[in-house]
């Protein structure tokens, strides 16, 4: 492999009910040496439920454990959403520099109910979290991982993953 080129290992789309099986497969690899900024977007809506919320937190914590956070190759951010963005739960890419502190922040997240406003969460990631002020590094790839139990039920037409150039 050429220096500076990082392979994409896998893409996984999983129903929340099958998340545990997926995490067992995913988390076995050693941390990657490839620099990357990763933001997790977690759905706290009513339909997720407390059992799946705890499962999502465990999955994210275990996934982060396989990232090279302590050597600063990987930066991790996180934001939760339901009716709107839960900024009180969010942590930016420059908030934590150790695996232990990230896992502690994830463990401390509390579940709340509401609708599923995915568009608001993605807008927040795009306009607030993916900025240099929030720790985004312009020279490394950004990865945004959205964990949700289904489709957005607030502003469904505004749920954009990316926008056309020039708009």
The pLDDT of residue 23 is 44
Examine residue 122 and state whether it is found in any structural domain, yes or no: yes
Examine residue 21 and state whether it is found in any structural domain, yes or no: no
Residue 135 is part of a domain; what is its CATH number?
3.40.50.410
Q: Which range marks the domain in which residue 85 is found?
A: 48-158
Q: Pairing state of beta strands 142-147 and 85-91?
A: unpaired
pLDDT (tens digit per residue) in 99-154: 999 999 999 999 998 888 888 999 999 999 999 999 999 999 999 999 988 766 65
The pLDDT of residue 70 is 85
CA 58 vs CA 34, 107, 141: distances in Å: 24, 8, 25
- pLDDT of 45 strictly over 80: yes
Examine residue 22 and state whether it is found in any structural domain, yes or no: no
The pLDDT of residue 152 is 63
pLDDT (tens digit per residue) in 49-75: 999 999 999 999 999 998 999 888 999
The pLDDT of residue 65 is 92
Examine residue 5 and state whether it is found in any structural domain, yes or no: no
Task: Say how many domains are in the chain.
Answer: 1
Nearest to 86 by CA among 105, 67, 104: 105
- pLDDT of 3 strictly over 50: no
pLDDT (tens digit per residue) in 11-37: 344 445 555 444 444 444 455 568 899
Examine residue 1 and state whether it is found in any structural domain, yes or no: no
Examine residue 86 and state whether it is found in any structural domain, yes or no: yes
Examine residue 125 and state whether it is found in any structural domain, yes or no: yes
């Amino acid at each position: 492999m050429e220096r500076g080129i990082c392979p994409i290992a896998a893409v996984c789309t999983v129903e929340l009910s099958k998340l545990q099986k997926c995490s067992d497969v995913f988390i076995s690899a050693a941390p990657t040496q490839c620099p990357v900024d990763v933001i997790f977007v977690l759905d706290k809506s009513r339909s997720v439920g407390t059992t799946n919320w705890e499962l999502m937190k465990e999955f994210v914590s275990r996934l982060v454990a396989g990232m090279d956070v302590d050597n600063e190759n990987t930066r991790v951010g996180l934001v939760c959403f339901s009716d709107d963005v839960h900024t009180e739960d969010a942590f930016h890419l420059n908030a934590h520099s150790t695996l232990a502190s990230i896992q502690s922040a994830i463990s401390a997240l509390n579940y709340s109910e509401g609708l599923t406003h995915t568009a608001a969460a993605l807008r927040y990631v795009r306009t607030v979290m993916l900025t240099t002020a929030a720790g985004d590094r312009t020279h490394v790839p950004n990865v945004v991982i959205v964990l949700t139990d289904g489709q957005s039920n607030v502003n469904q037409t505004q749920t954009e993953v990316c926008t056309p150039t020039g708009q």
